[in-house]
Amino acid sequence: MSPAIIFTAHLILGYVAWLLCYRVYIWPRLGSMDRVEAQRAIATLHSFRFFGLVFVMPGVVGPDLPGSFAAFAAYADLATGLLAMLALLTVRVRPLFWLFVVAFNIVGMGDLLLDYYHAVQANLPAVAGELGAAYAIPVIYVPLLMITHIAAFYMLARPATRLAAE
């Protein structure tokens, strides 16, 4: 099998595995939480997106990793992680908290969608080996991030049922 086929299969299977896990274990728990706590849990996961800087770390990724993919992915992940941390730090100031929740989800989902676009444009699947140790990010971590962004937007859009708790 070609590297492109293996990478694509890994990416698809990453989504399938996380969706199965999410449906059975994560969504029922998030759905039982009040809105603030559920968004805090999602923000906590996304606060680790500073890890995306690994895409520009020499020695971790290969020298032929397309720069059009690597730099944007690294710095947009960092921005998302910092916004998620700001959400966590402002949880007691609800207007700021909600502003940062919306911001990190918009920036983060935009990042992932643009990363997919850049990856296709740069033919990343064909050179996936250049990801080196960072290979696990797009095939294991990114599917969970995208799923939680979708869940966060869903929870933001649905009517609040526990206004007294907020």
User: For the chain, what percent of residues have pLDDT higher than 90?
Assistant: 89
pLDDT, tens digit, for every residue of 60-81? 999 999 988 999 999 999 999 9
Q: Check residue 1 and give its pLDDT.
A: 87
Q: Check residue 161 and give its pLDDT.
A: 61
Cα dihedral 59/62/63/66 (nearest 10): -130
Q: What is the DSSP string of 74-135?
A: HHHHHHHHHHHHHHHHTTTSHHHHHHHHHHHHHHHHHHHHHHHHHHHHTTGGGGGGGGGGGG
Sign of CA dihedral 154, 156, 162, 166: positive
| Rounded mean pLDDT, 76-92 | 98
Which position has the token pair 């399938």? Answer: 16
pTM above 0.85, yes or no: yes
Listed by start position, the domains of the chain span: 3-57+65-158
Q: Check residue 91 and give its pLDDT.
A: 98
Which position has the token pair 């989800």? Answer: 105
| Rounded mean pLDDT, 32-50 | 97
